[in-house]
Copies of this chain bind each other. A is one copy, B any other.
Amino acid sequence: MTDIALIESAREFNRFYTNFLGLLNKAYLDTPFTLTDARVLFEIGTHNGVNAGALARDLQLDPAYLSRILKRFREENLIEATPDPTDQRSQILTVTGKGRTQFEELGRRSNAQIAARFDTLADGEPQAAVAAMHTIRAILEPQARPAAAVIRPHRAGDIGWIVQSQGRFYAEEYGWDLRFEGLVADVAGKFLANFDPEMEYCWIAERGGINLGSVLITNGGDGIAKLRLLYVDKAARGLGLGRQLVDECIAFSRRKGYRQISLWTNDFLHAARAIYQKAGFQLVSEERHRMFGPEANGQTWVLDL
Interface residues, chain A, with chain B CB atoms under 8 Å away: 1-24, 39, 42, 58-60, 107, 110-111, 114-115, 117-137, 139-142, 144, 147, 154-172, 178-179, 181-193, 195, 206-212, 233-236
> From residue A171, how far is it (CB to closest CB) to chain B in Å?
3
Copies in the complex: 2
Q: Which of A10, A155, A184, A212 gathers the greatest number of chain B CB atoms within 10 Å?
A: A10
User: Do A189 and B182 form a contact, CB below 8 Å, given A24-B14, A60-B23, A163-B159?
Assistant: yes
Known: A12-B147, A121-B139. 4 other contacts (CB 8 A): A16-B140, A154-B178, A160-B168, A183-B193
* Distance between Cα atoms of A183 and B159 in the complex (Å): 11
User: Please, which residues of chain B bring their CB within 8 A of the CB of A59?
Assistant: 19
CB pair A178–B192 under 8 Å, yes or no, is yes
**CB-CB nearest in chain B for A112:** B7
Q: Which of B117, B181, B183, B233 contacts A157 (CB 8 A)?
A: B181
> From residue A66, how far is it (CB to closest CB) to chain B in Å?
14
List 6 contacting pairs A-B, 8 Å CB cutoff, sorted by A: A1-B119, A9-B147, A14-B114, A124-B211, A159-B167, A185-B185
CB pair A3–B209 under 8 Å, yes or no, is yes
User: Please, which residues of chain B bring their CB within 8 A of the CB of A193?
Assistant: 179, 182-183, 186
> From residue A44, how far is it (CB to closest CB) to chain B in Å?
14
User: Please, which residues of chain B bring their CB within 8 A of the CB of A121?
Assistant: 139, 235
User: Do A157 and B168 form a contact, CB below 8 Å, given A111-B7, A188-B189?
Assistant: yes
> From residue A245, how far is it (CB to closest CB) to chain B in Å?
15
Q: Which of B126, B171, B182 contacts A6 (CB 8 A)?
A: B126
> From residue A112, how far is it (CB to closest CB) to chain B in Å?
9
CB pair B233–A123 under 8 Å, yes or no, is yes
> From residue A287, how far is it (CB to closest CB) to chain B in Å?
20
> From residue A177, how far is it (CB to closest CB) to chain B in Å?
8
CB pair A13–B163 under 8 Å, yes or no, is no
Q: Which of B3, B9, B22 contacts A134 (CB 8 A)?
A: B9
User: Please, which residues of chain B bring their CB within 8 A of the CB of A114?
Assistant: 2, 7, 10-11, 14
* Distance between Cα atoms of A111 and B12 in the complex (Å): 11
> From residue A292, how far is it (CB to closest CB) to chain B in Å?
11
CB pair A6–B124 under 8 Å, yes or no, is no
* Distance between Cα atoms of A1 and B11 in the complex (Å): 32
User: Please, which residues of chain B bring their CB within 8 A of the CB of A162?
Assistant: 160
User: Please, which residues of chain B bring their CB within 8 A of the CB of A111?
Assistant: 4, 7-8, 11
> From residue A124, how far is it (CB to closest CB) to chain B in Å?
6
Q: Which of A127, A163, A191 gathers the greatest number of chain B CB atoms within 10 Å?
A: A163
User: Do A181 and B192 form a contact, CB below 8 Å, given A4-B111, A123-B233?
Assistant: yes
User: Please, which residues of chain B bring their CB within 8 A of the CB of A210?
Assistant: 6, 9, 122, 124-125, 128
